[in-house]
Amino acid sequence: MTTKIAHARKLCLSLIAIAATGVSVLPASAQQASGKSFVDDFDKINRGFWYVSDGWNNGAHQNCTWSKNNVNVENGVLQLSFADGKSKDRSYLCGEIQTTKRYSYGTYEARIKAGTGSGLNSAFFTYIGPADKQKHDEIDFEVLGKNTGEVQVNQYVQAKGGNEKLVPVGSKADDGFNDYAFIWEKDRLRYYLNGKLVQDVTDPSKIPSTPQKIFFSLWGSDTLSNWMGRFDYTKPAVLSVDRVAFTALGDKCQFPESIACTLN
């Protein structure tokens, strides 16, 4: 989730951007706003709450097609897979979900095990953009397959990025589950990894302001090798999500392990 832009010239730039990020266009009929605090332990996929991407890709940079068959729940864990599978113009299928509602300031948390494989991108992020008739704002956690010992944090403000930082995970992000969180406020954006503050943004010009949708995705690329690593598919990969939560500013923390409980 990191490279999209806005319109006319914007439209052209925007397509390139969406390409580099892996963000899908949600049909207008599914777009809603005003998301409230929630916790989802993924006992099932609530199709009213989550939109499952299916039947398209985000451009030439992406070597897989989003497929609803690559989005499943097993034993209370969301699984987004990347695997062999023919579509009309791709040789691989991959999985993505996004909320139908948009969310604003608050605490965003997910417990995730990244997918394994050079050239893959395991992502937990928020995004809004031209497809939603908004300027491009975004907040990212991305584990890049070339080195799963790190996670990249980043944000876009009205299509302007350049805020990337690589953070050591302390182990391999694809060996087990880790807790990723960010606290988004008007004048501050803090990123946390396993309860530890790893990035603190206080420059208002680098903090998004537009409500966004929450995404999880696992996708691959043959062309973005400098960023994600040389694509080298050997077997199916899975991004696993044990839990996701959003706690609006001022609301009580919702589960004992929440970073919102620790800080409040």
Q: 94: phi > 0 → left, psi -120 to 50 → alpha, else beta; which? A: beta
Catalytic residue among 138, 150, 185, 257: 138
Cβ neighbours of residue 80 closer than 8 Å, sequence gap 6 or more: 70, 71, 94, 95, 96, 97, 115, 216, 217, 218, 238, 239, 241
Separation of CA 241 from chain center: 11
Separation of CA 164 from chain center: 15
Catalytic residue among 96, 109, 142, 257: 142
> Is residue 142 among the annotated active site residues?
yes
Asked whether 18 and 129 are in contact (CB, 8 A), the reply is yes
The strand ranges marked E within 46-204 are 50-52, 64-66, 71-74, 77-84, 92-99, 106-113, 120-128, 137-144, 150-156, 165-168, 178-185, 188-193, 196-201
Q: How far apart (Å, rounded) are the C-alpha atoms in residues 128 and 113? A: 25
Strand duo 92-99 + 188-193: pairing: unpaired
> Is residue 257 among the annotated active site residues?
no
Catalytic residues: 138, 142
